[in-house]
Structure 1
Amino acid sequence: MREIKYNKNFKIITVIDPGADDFDFIENEFKIERNDLEEFKMPYHLSDYDVRTKYSFLVISFPKEKNFLKEALEIENVYFFFSNTFFICLSKGESLVNKIIDDILDDPKISLPNTEKLLYYILKSLLKVYYSILRTIDHEINFLDKNINKLPPQILNQRIVFLKKNLILFLTNTKSFYEVFEEIVKNRMPNFRRYSHLWEGFLDEVNYIYVRLEDYQLIIDGYQRSIENILSININKNILLITLIQTLFLPPTLIASIYGMNVNLPLAHKNYAFYLILFFMFFISILFWLLLIKKKG
């Protein structure tokens, strides 16, 4: 679905699930290189920025705002092609970016003298998704901290493994986002020069998010090691209990094996032989038990 909107200073074209006709239109109308448009078909693309002769090409990869603790994190790619006279946004399905653009255009308080200012407002709004996920991670870490000695280690470990998987993907995504804008700000790339102070502040925010995620990763790694140690101790206790039971039954098993042989054995023909052997079995087992307890103490 293609939609063209007009600002007094430039055209805004948003395309949802673009097809070949949309690519032909954009290529012919705005002289966008076909190879750049074809990148949209890639299933996953890290954030990236390139400069062409007549336009700039920016790919933004950002997480979808879903239940971070119960669902696998999904990454969405949005492709921007922009110059002084046009701003093109390509997205797959109903993207959050399309809603952001509509909200910006409908807000009478926002002035859009150029495409750079529009892009700044879009990216600034996208950071709300990042902050929302940060709050979710922070809440989950507080939960783990309060319940690490209360809940079963297996349940805690499942939560930590799922959280860590999403966190690694989120961290990788944020890293590429940060690296792209670090290069843009430091090198004062084309179409990012009018509002350098705004982009420097934006870069600081992305860096803050990235550093927070690295800190969270270290904390979660520590929790995971603690839980794994608890699980390992529990497994060792179970192995010790099984070994103890086997050890206690070794003497009675040996005596029973000996008196099960079809040969003449001492006391075999006595009336009290069974009770005497039974007593001897219990006596040796109790003796072993006492020795093990004493050794453990």
Structure 2
Amino acid sequence: MKKKPIRHRKSNASKKAGLPPGSITYIGKERSEAAILEMISYNPQELSKVKYDTCAELHKYMQPNSVNWINVDGIHNYQLINEFHDIFKLDNLLLEDVSNTNQRPKVEEYENYLFLSLKMLRYDEVEKTIDSEQISLVLSKDYVISFQEKTGDVFGHIRERIEAPKGQIRSKKNDYLFYSLIDSIVDNYFIAIENIGNDLEDLEDEIFNDPSQKSLQKIHAYKNVLLVLRRSIYPLRESVNKLLRDNDKFISPRNIKYFNDVHDHTIQIIDILESYRDVVSGLKDSYLSSLSLKMNQVMQVLTIMATIFIPLTFIAGIYGMNFETIPELKWEYGYYYFWAISIAIGIGLLFYFKKKKWL
């Protein structure tokens, strides 16, 4: 079997070494696409959706009596991220976490805003891998900011609901939009886990019917996928729980029930995740058992064949000796007698093995 080349993972985390706290340095995959800065402002009567080149221009056109959703695609543009410190007065430590895509999901409360980082996950059904993207959300009384690594997200249905003039979201405030973004990401976890569950069922059938080395590789791949999910979801449960405990300043009491629902979903996902981890562990045991059974079946066939040929080899060995006084050597039909006895012994042993259900 051809061995896969060893790949050395590149890490740019060393960029932060020696820098003072709050230094905004992008930590993540190298990207060259242009960053996109967009703001959706809405209230029950009005809706506007505009892209801007700078934070200063965007800040100028913020609507005071509307929900202002500012979305940033491209946190690799550190100059744009720095503008949020200058224009929106976001803390440098917060923006440092925004720029670090390896950041563990967490929630932090500042004087004028609330910060939450979490992972947006997509499951690749072809490659059997998880694509993880960091999403950072900032909730203020005046706006909601979402920082993304790249263009493309799971917020399409939220944008559609905002565009509907009579939708519930149009009559709600910033905290409800903040909840909606979190809920959309968490709901997407269910889609990923459901697809993983379907693939695990297919893998279970494959292991039962025809286990192979490729089956073992799939087991290890799913183990890594579940590990990524676990690292993303467990801290999120703690973060949402903290939001429920410390919520008076930025989250309306009327909307607490929605965050409770998100917390329940994270617990449900964790329960499913733990059951899938047990399934993967069981699949490895099933693979080894199936492989052992397959080997036993092969050994059984070889043993039966050897058992049949042992007496035949014994007879052939006796009459293959170079003694002149072996009486049967002079028989006229001795050769035919040998074959008749050999065939009778072979058929008799086959019937015996069939009776014992060894075949």
* TM-score, length-scaled by structure 1: 0.73
Q: Does the 8 Å CA contact 1:69/1:162 hold for their aligned counterparts?
A: no
User: Cα offset for 1:86?
Assistant: 4.0
Counting only pairs closer than 5 Å after superposition, residues 54-133 of structure 1 correspond to structure 2 as 54-64=112-122, 68=125, 71-97=128-154, 99=156, 102-103=159-160, 105-108=162-165, 109=167, 110-111=169-170, 114-133=173-192
Q: Judge which range, 9-18 or 20-29, deviates more.
A: 9-18
* Closer/same/farther in 2, CA of residues 11 and 187 from structure 1, 3 Å limit: closer
- Aligned position for 1:196: 256
Alpha-carbon displacement from aligned partner over 1:79-131 (angstroms, at most 9, x marks no partner): 12333344322112223256456445534333476532221121233344234
Question: Secondary structure, in 3 states, of the residue corresponding to 1:96?
Answer: coil
Q: CA–CA distance in 2 between the matches of 1:133 and 1:31? A: 36
Q: Judge which range, 222-231 or 210-219, deviates more.
A: 222-231
- Aligned position for 2:10: none
- Aligned position for 1:13: 70
Q: Does the 8 Å CA contact 2:211/2:287 hold for their aligned counterparts?
A: no
Gaps spanning 5+ residues in structure 1: where?
Answer: none
Q: Does the 8 Å CA contact 1:104/1:121 hold for their aligned counterparts?
A: no
- Aligned position for 1:185: 244
* Closer/same/farther in 2, CA of residues 43 and 263 from structure 1, 3 Å limit: farther
* Closer/same/farther in 2, CA of residues 71 and 137 from structure 1, 3 Å limit: closer
Alpha-carbon displacement from aligned partner over 1:63-92 (angstroms, at most 9, x marks no partner): 22x564874232222112333344322112
Q: CA–CA distance in 2 between the matches of 1:77 and 1:282? A: 74
* Closer/same/farther in 2, CA of residues 48 and 254 from structure 1, 3 Å limit: farther
- Aligned position for 1:244: 304
* TM-score, length-scaled by structure 2: 0.62
Q: CA–CA distance in 1 between the matches of 2:140 and 2:155? A: 19
Q: Does the 8 Å CA contact 1:60/1:77 hold for their aligned counterparts?
A: yes
Alpha-carbon displacement from aligned partner over 1:19-45 (angstroms, at most 9, x marks no partner): 121122123223334454344454544
Q: CA–CA distance in 1 between the matches of 2:317 and 2:92? A: 85
* Closer/same/farther in 2, CA of residues 265 and 190 from structure 1, 3 Å limit: farther
Amino acid at match of 2:138: F
Q: CA–CA distance in 1 between the matches of 2:132 and 2:325? A: 78
User: Cα offset for 1:152?
Assistant: 6.6
Match of 1:153 among 196, 206, 209: 209
Q: CA–CA distance in 1 between the matches of 2:284 and 2:106? A: 33
- Aligned position for 1:207: 267
Q: CA–CA distance in 1 between the matches of 2:63 and 2:262? A: 24
Q: Establish whether residue 281 from structure 1 lines up as the match of residue 338 from structure 2.
A: no
* Closer/same/farther in 2, CA of residues 139 and 4 from structure 1, 3 Å limit: closer
Q: Judge which range, 243-252 or 10-19, deviates more.
A: 10-19
- For this pair of structures, how many residues does the alignment match? 292
Aligned-pair identity in percent equals 19
Question: Secondary structure, in 3 states, of the residue corresponding to 2:129?
Answer: coil
Amino acid at match of 1:251: P
Q: CA–CA distance in 1 between the matches of 2:170 and 2:263? A: 22
- Aligned position for 1:23: 81
Q: Does the 8 Å CA contact 1:153/1:231 hold for their aligned counterparts?
A: no
Gaps spanning 5+ residues in structure 2: where?
Answer: 1-34, 40-61
Amino acid at match of 1:124: D
Amino acid at match of 1:15: V
Q: Does the 8 Å CA contact 2:107/2:242 hold for their aligned counterparts?
A: no
Q: Judge which range, 15-24 or 230-239, deviates more.
A: 230-239
* Closer/same/farther in 2, CA of residues 291 and 12 from structure 1, 3 Å limit: closer
User: Cα offset for 1:269?
Assistant: 4.8
Q: Does the 8 Å CA contact 2:211/2:291 hold for their aligned counterparts?
A: no
Q: Does the 8 Å CA contact 2:69/2:143 hold for their aligned counterparts?
A: yes
User: Cα offset for 1:186?
Assistant: 3.4
User: Cα offset for 1:240?
Assistant: 0.9
Q: Establish whether residue 32 from structure 1 lines up as the match of residue 84 from structure 2.
A: no
Amino acid at match of 1:57: F
* Closer/same/farther in 2, CA of residues 7 and 228 from structure 1, 3 Å limit: farther
User: Cα offset for 1:140?
Assistant: 6.7
Q: CA–CA distance in 2 between the matches of 1:278 and 1:20? A: 89
Larger relative contact order (C-alpha < 8 A, sep ≥ 6)?
1
Question: Secondary structure, in 3 states, of the residue corresponding to 1:73?
Answer: strand
User: Cα offset for 1:243?
Assistant: 1.3
Q: CA–CA distance in 1 between the matches of 2:157 and 2:37? A: 15
Q: CA–CA distance in 2 between the matches of 1:100 and 1:287? A: 73
Q: Once superposed, what is the RMSD of the aligned Cα atoms? A: 4.3
